[in-house]
């Protein structure tokens, strides 16, 4: 009973933290005076671990997106390290709440397994008390068998999601990036090794809420570099150089776009 209550409480806490925390929204920039600036480039390009990463100008939020940032069509905001929009918690999953989301799906998987185990244990107990008459045991355990079957199906869904996100953590990908890489057959410029990838997710402090990014390309270079280094802090500390690219020349690893 105590284990059940603990799992329910921990799962509820992580779900609430995921839903309540700002996932990493970038506030919209002030577009005043943009008419005088003239046309702006559609993308910005700079190097990440030997790859040329191109980021787009967001016409809705009026700024150039930092690396790994994408605009969520549901929330209508640019999100740092955008993973996906989760309808179950009603918010985006991004840089600031991804760790809580991982813990939420992992503890939900454990809860489903625990409930399934308790239900099957009750069925076996009833069957034993009936002299191992399986039909009688099943008749006495209809609710337990229904709960076990439901928990089994839920475990396949949530457990599969946990396994998938474990793979994403180890390879330093987001859900959005994973499917884009599959479509374009491109490489992942953010993978810095399994252990460092795991540390980046679980042992990197959650950054403060982000301020607006500039809409003027001439002001963006430093902000882009700062944002890139913030999201790739472990990469920089590990000695790999990450910098902005003025000429957009492609690195040895190829070209990525966000």
Q: Which residues are catalytic?
A: 86
| CA–CA gap between residue 149 and residue 174 (Å, rounded) | 31
| Count of CB atoms situated within 10 Å of the CB of 239 | 6
* CA-to-CA separations, 232 to 25, 49, 66, 166, 213, in angstroms, rounded: 17, 10, 11, 19, 18
Contact between 192 and 9 (Cβ < 8 Å): no
In the chain, DSSP finds a helix count (H) and a strand count (E) of: 9, 10
One DSSP character per residue, 29-50 reads PP-TTHHHH----SEEEEEETT
Structure tokens given for 236: 């920089």
* CA-to-CA separations, 33 to 30, 42, 211, in angstroms, rounded: 9, 18, 20
What residues form DSSP beta bridges with 84? 93
One DSSP character per residue, 116-160 reads HHHHHHHHHHHHHHTTS-HHHHHHTTHHHHHHHHHHHHHHHHHHH
């Amino acid at each position: 009973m105590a284990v059940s209550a603990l799992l329910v409480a921990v799962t509820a806490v992580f779900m609430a933290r995921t839903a309540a925390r700002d996932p990493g929204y970038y506030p919209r920039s002030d577009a005043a005076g943009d008419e005088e600036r003239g046309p702006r480039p559609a993308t910005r390009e700079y190097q990440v671990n030997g790859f040329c990463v191109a980021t787009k100008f967001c016409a809705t939020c009026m700024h150039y997106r930092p690396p790994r940032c994408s605009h969520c069509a549901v929330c209508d905001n640019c999100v740092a390290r955008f993973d996906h929009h989760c309808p179950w918690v009603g918010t985006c999953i991004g840089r600031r709440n991804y760790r809580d989301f991982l813990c939420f799906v992992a503890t939900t998987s454990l809860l489903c397994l625990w409930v399934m185990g308790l239900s099957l244990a009750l069925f076996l107990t009833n069957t034993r008390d009936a002299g191992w008459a399986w039909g009688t045991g099943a008749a006495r355990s209809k609710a337990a068998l229904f709960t076990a079957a439901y928990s089994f199906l839920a475990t396949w869904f949530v457990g599969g999601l946990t396994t998938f996100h474990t793979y994403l953590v180890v390879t330093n990908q987001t859900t959005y990036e994973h499917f884009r890489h599959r479509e374009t057959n491109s490489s992942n410029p953010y993978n810095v090794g399994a252990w460092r990838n795991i540390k980046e997710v679980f042992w990197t402090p959650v950054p403060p809420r982000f301020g607006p990014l500039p809409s003027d390309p001439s002001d963006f270079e430093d902000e882009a570099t700062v944002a890139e280094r913030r999201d790739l802090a472990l990469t920089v500390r590990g000695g790999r150089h990450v910098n902005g690219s003025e000429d957009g020349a492609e690195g040895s690893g190829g070209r990525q776009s966000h």
